[in-house]
Structure 1
Amino acid sequence: MVAQASREPYWLDRPQRPAPRPRLDTSVTADLLVVGGGFTGLWTAVQAAEENPGRRVVLVERDRIAEQASGRNGGFCSASITHGLANGLDRFGDEMPQLIRMGRETLDAIESTLERLGIDADAERTGELDIANFDWQVADLQEYSSQGALLGATLPLLPGPQARERVSSPMVAAAVLDPDVIMLDPAKLAWGLTRAAEDLGVTVYENTEVTGLASDGDRVRASTAFGEIDAAAVVLATSASPSLLRRLRLYTVPVWDYALMTEPLSPEQRAAVGWAGREGLADSGPRFHYFRLTADDRILFGGWDALYHYGSDADPRHAFEPREFGLLGEHLLQFFPQLEGIRATHAWGGVIDTCSRFCAFWDRALDGRVVSVVGFTGLGVGASHFGARTALDLVDGLDTERTRLAMVRTKPIPFPPEPLRWFGITLTRRELARSERRQGKRGAWLSMMDRIGLGFDS
């Protein structure tokens, strides 16, 4: 199924990909420097320029726009800013009604911004089905639905027959429908945001790596290979790349996620899988898959393993792992046996900026002139808008509903240094697989990690 697949991410391997913008080759000044050309950086630049048209905003990207996580994900734009309801309740229980509301407002703002700025990202507000593959997983979905109801979130539980009417698969035992999810084309979103930012007056440089930051009076000097940027304020949106602030480097680890994209489904194949609502799909075991239909009826299928390499190794050679793609191909056909013989056209990997609480955190440095936001842990397509808005509040010194959140004022527990980091993550992955074989029962190691709040999840 995957033997002839291209190693390029499908989203980026298309003729509509814009030509690279020039690198910075001189010294410039800015009111706001944004480091990182993924969703967080782009939303920061667009919102800053819209709110203050006179603000000189410069955005620099080490590679090309959307080259990393923003161009390698599944395109699930969720209202959740806490990486799911259960994770939010565990960590920010008192704030969850507020965080749920703010997440919905964020999703509405994304939708309205795309319309206002004329960004065509193939966006469909289809919702997402969270699927129990086995009977032992149904109880967790029932609890998820009940918790949502207590907090005013509509998360209906669909019993097996009703769920299989939506998606025709022997692997569907039940499902919960989350209506607050938009499915979109992540690369088209990034390219559209870049064009919109430039139309608003933002200057964008690609292939420009910031190698250092230094305080220069009441300003910040950012160094690159061919020029400097003198900025009044900086937002660092560097995802899984090592932070420019050394003290933050233990707070995130780069974890590799893998996905494949099939050829377009034939009309017969499309009818065989059902899926008339085109919802995003995710199964609900300790390790999980995410999958969705594209605008031209391909299936993106990703997830399952989350690989960590010793020393936080994020070398691009890890982007192609034949074993991972083979597993994904097998699992896709287990879920949809009626697609036997389908071919994958693309198979790729990418790194996720994982932190121990699985959702974004913020940091202020150099007397508040430098604000970082990272740690989205794979659910950043929608949450990046909230992360960017909050980073702008912080860098501007504003007292807002966002900046008063405990979620914003606190940080996750850092990961230990090597070799303890590799040992802990590897053992946790092994125990997650073991819990799956034991129908979700968590052993002593996972229970301890839960208690201290230093977990690891795929």
Structure 2
Amino acid sequence: MKGIPLTTDFANGGVSFWYRQIGLPDRRAALPGARSYDVVIVGGGYTGLWTAYYLKKAQPDLRIAILEREFAGFGASGRNGGWLSAEFAGSRKRYAAARGREAMISLQQAMFRSVDEVIGVTREEGIEADIHKGGLIHVATNPAQRRRLHEELSELRTWGYGEDDLRLMSRDEQRERVQVAGTLEATYSPHCARIQPAKLAVGLASVVASLGVDIFENTTVTEIRPRSAGGQASAVTSRGVVSAEYVIRATEGFTASLAGQHRQWLPMNSSMIVTEPLPAEVWKHIGWSGSELLGDEAHAYIYAQRTADDRIAIGGRGVPYRYGSRTDDRGATQAQTVALLWRMLVKLFPAAADSHVQHSWCGVLGVPRDWCSTVHLDHSTGLGWAGGYVGSGVTTTNLAGRTLRDLVLRRDTELTALPWVGRQVRQWEPEPLRWTGVQLIYALFRSADRHENDRGTTTSAYARLANLISGR
């Protein structure tokens, strides 16, 4: 495997490159014992941090605590691909079935605005996160992918995407922006920005703490309980029970670790590698001077960015799921997954073939049974949640935080009327059906990609079967 040194850099113990670049943050104190608050948030990732931020900004006297098992930003928030994107997980038709087509269009428009909302907050609060709004390019590298690209563009036109939101690129423009080998056609959307995920998480946590939110780290929540007669909702930890008027679950891919939540959201694994900084001679061949985010139309798709220090970071599913909804907290990446991602990188960017992989890592994201993200708050039980972002959470978490703010404060707003609010779906199947199903789905997706790369001109029947089994 040329270009992949099997060194301690390669076997890095699972810390994401983003944290390797800036260093792990000093851990905050753990919960000192039983406490009472107005709002308790379980999970110190983007969802929890944004929710606390907007609640505290709206009502500074609220007593808010965040309970985090590791440190704020430890999970997907500090491990993701750095896409501040307006893409939204789930079936638009399913959302529209809940509250109508116009409501789904409103949700998409809210996602467009949320990209700029995050950028605006980082500027206002002095958070430096290597943000560059260069847009998003999706490439098709075989005839079947090109057909899907056109079909998706036509479909999105009916869901609020105008010509200024998403368009086909001319061949000259595509080549001028970034040289991706084998590209037959590409689309461009301006609604996406590159970020350094850990910088955003660490910076946001610092701002939230400065507003007076108590962030307790090294504090494991084992159970979330609804209000009882005359009592409050609560989060149970080994260090004491924390009660509040509202307890918000913001645990995303780690939700299965909570009592009674084992089948709620499936923890899906995603992996990444990053190269060493590439020399100017390589970038002459690749281009990519606009630092657009990059994805493809494969079923086992990739996501990539040119980092602020001139590396290529690329990710994909790898080993998608571990039996029994187990999660690898340390984020170690299997060698075969690194090799797969490397082959994808070199296929797309042959000019980078002589570079080295400097780091690899993985993390988990949350997948609901219908693959649709959700925000919910039950005033009768005092329990709420947001998540199930299926890998599209960097921007969606911001929208979720503002929506939870309005729900907690009992505001009737445009955000609380969006069709992902109040959505509840059935649980995932018990084992071994869950593990067998996920393995089959991704085996079919990989077979579909191989078939389409070899000779397919339309979407493979393997992929259609995988989508049917998955319930997407």
TM-score (norm 2): 0.89
Of the candidates 281, 285, 308, which is equivalent to residue 294 of structure 2? 281
The answer to whether the Cα contact below 8 Å between 2:107 and 2:419 also exists between their aligned partners in 1 is: no
The answer to whether the aligner puts 1:168 opposite 2:185 as a matched pair is: no
Q: Deviations over 1:33-87 (max 9, x none)?
A: 111110000001111111111111111111112111111101101123x327xx3
2:348 matches 1:330: no
* Structure 2 residue 427 is matched with structure 1 residue 414: yes
Number of the residue aligned with 1:83: 89
Asked whether 1:183 is paired with 2:200, we answer no
Maintained 8 Å contact 1:369/1:395 = no
> Which amino acid is 1:179 matched to?
P
Give the corresponding residue for 1:141: 149
Verify the 8 A CA contact 2:16 2:78 in the aligned structure 1: yes
Query: Offset of 1:130 from its aligned partner?
Result: 0.6
Q: Which residue of 60, 66, 76 corresponds with 1:59?
A: 66
Displacement of 1:243:
4.9
The CA deviation at 1:382 is 0.3
Unaligned runs of at least 5 residues, structure 1: none
Distance in 1 (CA, whole Å) between partners of 2:189 and 2:208 is: 31
CA shift in 2, pair 1:349/1:244, >3 Å: closer
Are the equivalent residues in 1 in contact too, given 2:83–2:293 (CA < 8 A)? yes
Which amino acid is 2:58 matched to? Answer: E
**How much has 1:247 moved relative to structure 2?**
5.0
Q: 2-side partners of 1:246 and 1:28: how far apart? A: 21
The alignment partner of 1:230 has SS state of strand
Identify the match of residue 128 of structure 2 among 114, 117, 120: 120
- Number of the residue aligned with 1:92: 96
Question: 2:78 corresponds to which residue?
Answer: 71
**Contact in 1 for aligned 2:269/2:364 (Cα 8 Å):** yes
CA contact (8 A) 2:106 2:418 kept: no
Q: Deviations over 1:113-160 (max 9, x none)?
A: 111111111111111101101133112212233334443432111244
Query: Which of 46, 70, 74 is 1:39 aligned to?
Result: 46
Q: For residue 138 of structure 2, give the secondary structure of its aligned residue in structure 1.
A: strand
Q: How far apart, in 1, do the equivalents of 2:294 and 2:92 lie? A: 21
2:19 pairs with 1:12: yes
Deviation, structure 1 residue 365: 5.1
Matched letter for residue 165 of structure 1: E
Distance in 2, Cα, partners of 1:365 & 1:315:
31
More displaced 10-residue stretch of structure 1: 165-174 or 293-302:
165-174
Q: Secondary structure at the match of 2:132?
A: coil
Identical-residue share of aligned pairs (%): 30
TM-score where L is the length of structure 1 = 0.92
CA offsets 1:267-322 (integer angstroms, 9 cap, x no match): 11222211121100001111111110111111101115351122112134663211
**Number of equivalent positions:** 451
In the TM superposition, what is the alpha-carbon distance from 1:242 to its structure 2 partner? 2.9
Distance in 1, matches of 2:470 and 2:333, equals 32
The C-alpha deviation readout for 1:433-455, integer Å capped at 9, x for no partner, is 222233253437844854x8713
- SS of 1:240's equivalent? helix
* Alignment-mate amino acid for residue 232 of structure 2: R
CA RMSD of aligned residues (A): 2.3
Task: State yes or no: 1:443 paired with 2:461.
Answer: yes
Shift of 1:111: 1.6
Q: Secondary structure of 2:119's partner?
A: helix
Q: SS where residue 171 of structure 1 aligns?
A: coil
Task: Give a deviation string over 1:176-227, Cα, whole Å, max 9, x none.
Answer: 0011011101100011111110111111111111123333534223222223
Asked whether the equivalents of residues 368 and 395 of structure 1 are also in contact (C-alpha less than 8 Å), the reply is no
Gap change, CA 1:243 and 1:258, over 3 Å in 2:
closer
Mapped pair 1:110 → 2:118: yes
User: Residues 181, 89 of structure 1: CA spacing in aligned structure 2 closer, same or farther, 3 A cutoff?
Assistant: farther
Amino acid at match of 1:256: N
1:328-407 to structure 2, matched below 5 A, reads 328-364=341-377, 367-407=380-420
Determine if contact 1:48/1:392 at 8 Å carries over to the other structure.
yes
Give the Cα–Cα distance (whole angstroms) in 2 for the partners of residues 160 and 53 of structure 1: 52
